[in-house]
Amino acid sequence: MPLFTYKNGDASSLVSNAIALSAYANQTYASSVQAGDISIDVSRGRSEGGWTVLAPDVLGYDGIVDGNGTYNGETNQFKDAQAEVFARYDASGEVTGVGLAIRGTGGPEEDQVIDTIGDVIDYLEFLKSEPQYVENAFGNLLVAIRDFLTANGLTASDLIVTGHSLGGGAVTNMAERSDDILDGYFVDANYIGFASHYTPEDGSSVLSSGAELFSMDFENDPVPSVISDGRINVLGNDTDYGYDTSNLIFYNDYYGTPLYWDGGNVINPFAWSAHSSANYAKAVNVVLSSKFYDEMSRDSLVIVSGLSEDKRDDRWVEDEFIPFDNTGHLGDAAFILGSEGGDWLRGNRGNDTIEGFGGDDHITAGKGNDRICDGTGSDVLTGGKGADIFIFVNDGTKDTITDFKRGEDKIDLSYAGVSAFDELSFDDKGWFGNFDILYDQDILSLEKGWFSGYSNLAASDFIFAA
């Protein structure tokens, strides 16, 4: 099952929609979030196929709403809690789904400081043995959402509950308490959180309430699971739980540097750079766009390039040795995913899968039997030791393999649409010149140095489209 598996199926659509709603609620108010091949539109006017922000009069809610249309907490204890409610309409104007996105720390720009202080107080609720954050903050709103679903012929299974950070913890809390809220109406809702700071029960994905929970968490984000066992884990808590992604790394400017050698706990200010909802949206986009998405499981080691533009051309994105925090996966097989910029991507000792995406990339596989996918752009690929597969797309640019070994490595042109050996042509540039393979508008150049045996390339050296 793929990385985003939920309720025994691929949850690509659920996760891409959830990150769009969560990013919107988390003060970005973005009109569109790209997730894989899916662009999720969010607007205040009715958007066919996208998500529409629901106003109180449409929802049938009589409560506190701020100037941005955001629903505020209903009690003095949680007055700084905020949430957004959305509906999805089809072409005939029928409601096909509802979303509840609970905001993380922080509020509107005009009230940022006071609201943040209030949110810190909200976090204390999660140190109780049985926190009841969502029902105490949004009890009447939950009634309105239930009634809206029912009035439109929908059930809780048509509801996405999402949020980031404090909001992600709220998603977990609502899933835990769903059998007690409104006589269990919300047990079957879809609980998709991001960067959740709160660990449910024993960390299982199916809770004793009957609800199922999934949280997308970065391993190098200091916030996920900072609260577990009823206490704050100041120095970090890297337990692999069943409800979240275990080894997903957002490789940013601080990861792998001395500023992150302590493993990125909550008292390390540099570790917080991975925590933003924008980074989570970027990672969802990259993971869902990967040709190898279906091969990634919940426990896979997945490393996503998140380096800034000025760092991309002098830093390798790879599985790092963290001196004071054993990750437990150094040298394991990894999926290493680039960006739309020019990345330097490097494998390790495992059988790695590396994908460049856009930009002019430098990719070095390492010591295992690796797969390297160039993506778009003019890329330089090095397989290293082992039997490697070099995968190319059709992008009209020239790519280079520095160490292709006949009889051991293979060139996969199936993603480029090449189906037979006779679709290729060759140009041997002689001693110290490269050997070029031409297909469609692309050129694949094999560096050869003293070696001149590429003129004997055969169909067995390639993988073609079926």
Residues 372-393 pLDDT 10s? 999 999 999 999 999 999 999 9
Same domain, yes or no: 2 and 129: yes
Q: Is the pLDDT of residue 254 over 60?
A: yes
CA 444 vs. chain centroid, Å, equals 31
Find the catalytic residue in 12, 22, 47, 165. Answer: 165
Q: Please give the share of the chain, as a percent, with pLDDT higher than 90.
A: 68
Same domain, yes or no: 323 and 386: yes
- Residue 47 designated active-site: no
Same domain, yes or no: 268 and 365: no
Examine residue 281 and state whether it is found in any structural domain, yes or no.
Answer: no
Q: Is the pLDDT of residue 68 over 80?
A: no
The whole-number pLDDT of residue 32 equals: 59
The whole-number pLDDT of residue 319 equals: 95
| Other residues' Cβ atoms within 10 Å of the Cβ of residue 49 | 12
Measure the CA–CA gap between 249 and 336, rounded to whole angstroms. 10
Examine residue 219 and state whether it is found in any structural domain, yes or no.
Answer: yes
Examine residue 194 and state whether it is found in any structural domain, yes or no.
Answer: yes
CATH at residue 34? 3.40.50.1820
Q: What is the mean pLDDT of residues 184-203?
A: 95
> What's the predicted TM-score (pTM) here?
0.93
Tell me the sheet residues that pair with 414.
none
Minimum mean pLDDT range among 43-57, 123-137, 261-275, 414-428 = 43-57
Same domain, yes or no: 338 and 215: no
Measure the CA–CA gap between 347 and 316, rounded to whole angstroms. 9
Measure the CA–CA gap between 289 and 161, rounded to whole angstroms. 24
The whole-number pLDDT of residue 200 equals: 92
Provide the terminal-to-terminal Cα distance of the chain, rounded to the nearest Å: 24
Same domain, yes or no: 458 and 354: yes
**Total of domains in the chain:** 2
Q: What is the mean pLDDT of residues 435-452?
A: 87
Q: Is the pLDDT of residue 24 over 80?
A: yes
Same domain, yes or no: 45 and 179: yes
Measure the CA–CA gap between 322 and 335, rounded to whole angstroms. 18
Are 164 and 280 contacting, i.e. CB atoms less than 8 angstroms apart? yes
Examine residue 292 and state whether it is found in any structural domain, yes or no.
Answer: no
The whole-number pLDDT of residue 461 equals: 97
Residues 315-369 pLDDT 10s? 999 999 999 888 889 999 999 999 999 999 999 888 999 999 999 999 999 898 9
| Mean per-residue pLDDT over the chain, rounded | 90
| Other residues' Cβ atoms within 10 Å of the Cβ of residue 63 | 15
Could you list the residue range(s) of the whole structural domain that residue 362 is in? 300-465
